[in-house]
Chains A and B, each alone.
Chain A
Amino acid sequence: MNPSNIAYLNGLWEVNAMATVLKQVLAWMPFFFGIGFIAPLVAQMMVLWDIPAPFGMSRIAFGLIIGGSWGLVANIRGRWL
């Protein structure tokens, strides 16, 4: 096999590997979305409306529980609501 073919196959492997990683990330996106966006959104809305978190928790910890569990359920059920 000449060097250009090896380079081509290496490139192909890299593209396929990247696509596989991307697909995995996107497959778990609802969960990541729960942690990455819903959690801080919940916490910041609680600050805006001056709502304290229950059980002496910090607002962001409460947001992480809500966002993480909601995202996980959305991932498993395939529905946000």
Chain B
Amino acid sequence: MSEQELLARSDAPAADRAAFPLGPDGMDRYTRRDLRKEEIAIARQFHGGAMWPYAVAAFGCFAIWLSFFPLAIMGVLNLPLAFVLSCIFCVGGYVTSHEAMHSNIGRPGTNTRWLNEAVGAVSTIPIVFPFSMARLMHLEHHYHTNHPDKDPDYTDEAPNMWAAWYKTWYNRQPGVDGSIHHYKRILADMGTPEARRALVETMLLQLVFMGTLFTMAWNGYAIEAALIWWLPRHIGLSYIRFFLSWAPHHPREGKTGRYENTNVFKSRVGHILSMGMQYHVVHHLYPGIPNHRTKEAYYALKPILKVRGVDVSPL
């Protein structure tokens, strides 16, 4: 038993007991408050910065991806290259939209708010996931991280890496009580105009997606449609679900506390290819820190996170 735990025991002799009641973390509330202040002061240094690259990336990639359709029809597109790029755009689009979900590109009431909303709107079109739905669900995930009923991403939980990859696909099956059904239940519980709008927009975007695939396919461009949109969307969704949902939150069961709901993990594919998710703990503590600064913020916050009980050993 550690010295702090000994001091925390209420049956210890009065002379040996801590002056203030200690929590299960071995800290009294004054120590916790001071640590929190220090944590906030460090985190504040990493908020903000240039966000225009996210906007350039979002619009640029969307425009290139959109150009693939007429180019494919004209027969001047390198399909294998377009397929690889489309997969990258599907995954990368979620990263740029993620910044918009947290209003990191433009806060409400600022001059760049329109840009924030526009970046969000175009970024998730390739994965057929409207921004209204993506934002609502992602914010619910932050409010209720790892809650079995209230966290929209809880259905991604799986016992190991291989099961997690399988589940990213399984949860998209039409009759499985996976992601979209869980989302619909949460939206119905919310019952707000925003929730209804998100549902309608999801249905409409799905119809546009299907309409585009069917039209291209019956006009002789089925393989092009499959390689530019259908397959990249599936690959992108699985990749996003694995790296943004399963890897940083596994195991989810019972881990709902501020310093325990997100893991620090060492990714086999590195920092860039895992989209900075190794340091996702920083994002959950401070969603206002942009994705490209979470690594730097993590190393600055690491000593405090360690004291708070976060397992910082992987990185």
Contacts and interface: CB of A to CB of B under 8 A. Distances in A.
B53 interface: no
Summarize B's interface: helix, strand, loop or mixed.
helix
A44 interface: yes
B208 interface: no
B207 A36 contact: no
Interface residues of B, number: 20
Interface stretch (A4-12, A19-27, A50-58): A19-27
A74 B214 CA distance: 18
Interface in B179-234: 200, 203-204, 206-207, 210, 213-214, 217-218, 220, 222-223, 225-226, 230
B173 A80 contact: yes
B224 to A, nearest CB: 9
Contacts of B159: none
A79 B173 contact: yes
Interface of A: 19, 22-23, 25-26, 29-30, 32-33, 36-37, 39-41, 43-45, 48, 74-75, 77-80
Interface of B: 173-176, 200, 203-204, 206-207, 210, 213-214, 217-218, 220, 222-223, 225-226, 230
Nearest 6 A/B pairs, CB to CB = A78-B175, A36-B214, A41-B222, A40-B217, A40-B222, A44-B222
